[in-house]
Structure 1
């Protein structure tokens, strides 16, 4: 069902807008529209130009709450006023910044130590004291690395004639680290040779003590101590935030509300009066909410509420808010996928809920598998609130019912007697047709009934929209309904062996509605007393009308036959389960229960998915296309209701 909407204007002193939002409108769902664009008849409207005073505090509160583990499980302390909230955020931020300053200092110190460690680490195999090496007077040295393939050349061809000593450090896949030593007089020659080998020098700072290995171990210990200090600071921060956790969570929630309410100025407008400025808010509210809101605010001399009745002329189409019984609530998803109904259109949710579940049950009739769908769907819907799970659970109920009607439990058809028939083998003889599966015949008859119901809904919608042509002369209007109902009656009389009406009666039943459909446009113009000139010639009008009429007749026929799939899937389900039982060896008396279980799960999942899609196709193409437009826009409240 569609909730009736009212367009309301709310105004009052400019400095009172936050109180109104917090005290009243936060407890109701209202879709706010831009007052500047909607209220074109009001003079001197100006936008609000103000900075949100809660934004910075909210960012800090969000940051602090984000550091807490499982903040949603913390019970908020709602005893604070606004000044206390700001003071809490300020003091918490001051303490946090002090700790962060210490953390930054330690982090920088750690990075320096790590950089020094990375420099000296490749030279750990060298045993010399770095302090002594750095102070050599009669020996020159160079630390660095060279490509691994160049080191092989050095070792094989040059090292013996170089008059220098190369001490190897660590080696990886690409480079060999080390240092070479030479007399000061020979160092230039050594430098030239090593440059030709692509040796890259690495400068070693003079503040290392001991061997490279000792220096590395000392730096590792210093880094560990620094990291320990940083961990202690993290623990202090955590303890500080945990201590204030209930207040921080409450502050974040309250600041979110206040910041959100303050942002209402983006869609509000202000108008200058002789004494003071006033704000104006406008938007859509449910009729019941409007009455409650006006009753609450009637004694508030700072709030003025005006309900606009002629919204169609000035404020456009109201948004659509659906409010259906809990059982049919999940089916609003299917309606939304096609398009929400306009405010003057019928809500098809209950129609979809009943027809979808019923058809699904016929096509997937099995007591055991139906109960599986009910249990799985109900559990998922209870915990996850997924609409599709609710639909599956409801459809599973009808699957269970038709399982009893067909006498099928997990594919076994010899455990219970069917309350109606077994789809796979029950036949009916029809005149001039012969034997047909009974489920096929019932499916077509059921489809005819649904098409008639869809036509009736189309007529109701057209009447509500005051659309004369669509209501009376459309293929789904009164003319189409009379024609299609006449076909059903004649076919039913013929198939049951009764006499059909005389030729004149048949012409009235079939011919007159088709003529009305053919000349729907000129007839509508005549009724509305419009003198519209035909754009094409009369002959062209008749030709086009003939082909459109022929297409309409084909659509009646194809749409009716489309419902055969209901019976086809009922039969195919029974056939698939017969295959599963045959593979499991039930007929031979050696039942393989593993195949039974997995076969049922496979059929339940695969065929359940296919049947669900096919039923939705019937809903959209064979029924919705006849009566439903789905041109409404979704109702988007500015804020969720709060108590």
Structure 2
């Protein structure tokens, strides 16, 4: 599991008469990652003559599916509905050859495309008309206070009347004073965002002067042609028209629903068939060709090679030549080879960079370390349980048909359980289990390690963990350097540190008084420290292997860098203390609130709250705001409950404060634990050995989003 799957580089020379049979088998089984042929002088293959026809059919069928989805039943809304994920619509299909698929596409489109497109044109027209009237309705709303017949707007034999919005009324006011126009205006907005809704009437002989003034005013005219009557009458007429159009739209949706129930499964299967035929044509750009043959190059996992070879030979009827060898080089794709339990953590490796082929895949190493670090830094059983429940919901209900939710949810679930274990060991359940914790009367015990009382022990553990992981990273780096016969880098980058860690550590502990070190042991510690520094000096190890190499004296920065990486593991303590400290603060504040209000009367505590809720409710009724609605409801509840029973109101307020505070803190600290646990892998650990920029294994395979094959060839 430490290395990706072994790959085989394969070249297949196939006669053109059986080429599509071979491609169909390769696509159906999905065992080969296809790459550029890379043969000098060999011409690239071109798509077949029907490629354009396939693309056209696929686009048109996709458009029909999109139109028919207008009639798809609306999903239920709400929390329970969001947790009840439905499987994607996938319909049974059977294997078909290209000729049958194209014939089917042609006859199906000829039969139903004109009818569906006609319905869609009507649908678009009705929707456009509804939106147009909605815009006009907003314009008429602005004119409600002006008793003018809307049909008067426009040009007449003698009068010019317009309505709209303007930014500046300076020149219009001047024309009004001169008696050239009649002007009605209403102000909207404040300060720099002021706009004016205006209605202007003038004689036709003054039209040019009026138009000039309107341009200067930044005038935008209302388009209200076709309507007549006073504004209130027009608004009623508009509402009636919108209602009629909506009924017409529902009628069209029902007609589309008839087509959907009858043809949607059929079109979905056809769409997938055409898409996979299109992919067969697009992949030709990677093939080489001669007059009669096609060359396909790619990579197959070694364990699947015999099965793939037999399948290709079977469908090619002896007209395919297969050449293969063990894969080597930078273009070899990487297929992970991890047990099921570790697969979600492959996403972390991909987020950083896919490993190079033949190099270490660290998934099985970082998976347990990430879970441990997350649990240690969150360090609270209550918060861990919240994360575990949230992770389970994402993993099971929400992740059943969603890879992202399933992957992240499973990681969060396991990490949350880790936080529960470490929280119990550290005595943290929604904060330290001391007198300020509401759970103290029910649960209290002496923790194995309390970070608030004994942070030094946890710091030592964090640094020991750091030494372990950094040493593991160096060991993995040493493995690669020895494998590649890069002995100079092996001596400088790994052996030097394996000598410095114990020798330098022994000297540091001795001079800080942590342990005794005398006689021969002290001498050996100094000797090995000097040897380690000597090997670490850039260029010395290279000089030992190659006398022409030069020595670089800037090694001091590499030493400080390693020390910085080691000390970075102290964040495990810092994040743990942050979680406990903020949780403790929330509990103390809740206690202070309780003690401050314990002796107060209902009139002092709750009457002002009730009055504030009533006052805000009256203001809200004038201008409804969803955000303020929640605050108003809470104020009214607290006020009413408090007037009846003060203690019940206080308990309710403190309870809500604790729930909101701890949930908010758990989310904040979980995010920090997630990011910093991952950072220790990426920055401190991967830098010691990891080789990224690999190519991910992406097999040429059949993709079916809307259908499923019930019979395989």
Assess same fold via TM > 0.5. yes
- How far does the alpha carbon of each residue in 1:120-139 deviate from its partner, in whole angstroms, 9 at most, with x for none? xx98778xxxxxxxxxxxxx
> Aligned equivalents of 2:355 and 2:104: distance in 1?
47
Where does residue 269 of structure 1 map in the other structure?
288
Cα distance in 1, alignment partners of residues 664 and 245 from structure 2: 59
Matches within 5 A, 1:222-621: 236=255, 239-272=258-291, 277-300=292-315, 301-302=317-318, 304=320, 306-309=322-325, 311-312=327-328, 316-382=330-396, 383-384=398-399, 385-386=404-405, 387-413=407-433, 414=440, 415-418=443-446, 420-426=448-454, 437-471=456-490, 473-475=491-493, 477-488=494-505, 495-497=514-516, 501-518=520-537, 521=539, 523-524=541-542, 527=545, 530=546, 532=548, 534=550, 541=551, 544-545=552-553, 547-548=554-555, 550-585=556-591, 592-621=654-683
What is the CA distance between 1:262 and its match in structure 2? Answer: 2.2
Aligned-partner Cα distance in 2 for 1:153–1:234? 57
* CA–CA distance in structure 1, aligned partners of residues 576 and 228 of structure 2: 82
CA contact (8 A) 1:345 1:464 kept: no
Distance 2:252 2:385 in 1: 57
The separation in 2 between residues aligned to 1:100 and 1:584, in whole angstroms, is: 60
SS in 2 for 1:424: coil
Q: Provide TM-score, normalisation by structure 1.
A: 0.73
Q: Report deviation, 1:449.
A: 1.9
Provide the residue aligned with 1:186 in structure 2.
none
Matched, 1:52 2:80: no
Distance 1:223 1:424 in 2: 66
Gaps of 5+ in 2: 74-86, 131-147, 164-171, 183-196, 213-226, 434-439, 599-650
Query: In 2, Cα distance between the equivalents of 1:323 and 1:329?
Result: 9
Which whole-Å CA distance do the structure 2 matches of 1:397 and 1:222 have between them? 59
Q: Give, in angstroms, the shift of residue 454 of structure 1.
A: 1.6
Say yes or no: does 1:636 pair with 2:698. yes
By how many angstroms is 1:569 displaced?
A: 2.7
- Structure 2 counterpart SS, 1:67: helix
CA distance in 2, matches of 1:109, 1:495: 84
Relative to 1, partners in 2 of residues 1:96 and 1:442: Cα closer, same or farther, differing over 3 Å? closer
Equivalents in 2 of 1:583, 1:76: separation in Å?
Answer: 58
Label 1:578 to 1:287 Cα distance change in 2 as closer, same or farther (>3 A): same
Q: In 2 relative to 1, CA 57–584 (structure 1 residues): closer, same or farther, beyond 3 Å?
A: same
| Count, aligned residues | 548
Structure 1 residues 303 and 241 mapped into 2: Cα distance closer, same or farther (>3 Å)? farther
The alpha-carbon distance between structure 1 residues 532 and 77, as it changes in their structure 2 partners (threshold 3 A), is: same
**Contact 1:357/1:395 (8 A) holds in 2:** yes
Mapped contact 1:408–1:416 kept (Cα < 8 A): no
Q: Secondary structure of 2:530's match?
A: helix
Residues 311 and 317 of structure 1 are in contact (CA less than 8 Å); yes or no, is this contact kept in structure 2?
Answer: no
User: Where in structure 1 are there 5+ consecutive unaligned residues?
Assistant: 111-121, 127-140, 158-171, 181-190, 200-210, 428-436, 535-540
State whether residues 452 and 485 of structure 1, in contact with CA within 8 Å, keep that contact through their aligned partners in structure 2: no
Change (3 A) 1:586 1:411: farther
With 411-420 and 460-469 compared, the bigger mean Cα shift is at 411-420
Tell me the distance in 2 between the aligned counterparts of 1:566 and 1:418: 22
The 8 Å contact of residues 10 and 303 in structure 1, kept in 2 or not, is answered as: no
Show the counterpart of 2:5: 3
Deviates more, 1:486-495 or 1:246-255: 486-495
What's the TM-score, normalizing by structure 2? Answer: 0.66
Contact 1:320/1:635, CA 8 A, preserved across alignment: yes
SS at match of 2:696: coil
Q: 1:143 to 1:258 in 2, by over 3 A?
A: farther
Q: Shift of residue 61 of structure 1?
A: 0.7
Q: Is the 8 A contact 2:7 2:326 kept in 1?
A: no
Structure number, greater radius of gyration: 1
Q: CA RMSD in A?
A: 4.4
Kindly indicate whether the alpha-carbon contact (under 8 Å) linking 1:6 and 1:307 is maintained by their aligned counterparts in 2.
Answer: no
Q: Does 1:87 align with 2:107?
A: yes
CA contact (8 A) 1:9 1:280 kept: yes
1:259-311 deviation per Cα after TM superposition (whole angstroms, max 9, x unaligned):
11222212222112xxxx11111112222332321132333325535353264
Partner of 2:68: 68
Aligned mates of 2:330, 2:260 — CA distance in 1 = 50
Cα deviations by residue, 1:178-203 (Å, 9 ceiling, x for unpaired): xx9xxxxxxxxxx868888879xxxx
Once the two structures are overlaid, the 10-residue window that deviates more, 283-292 or 302-311, is: 302-311
Counterpart among 30, 33, 37 of residue 31 in structure 1: 33
Q: Is the 8 A contact 2:42 2:288 kept in 1?
A: no
CA spacing shift, 1:440–1:626, aligned 2, 3 Å: same
Contact 1:462 1:470 survives alignment (8 Å): yes
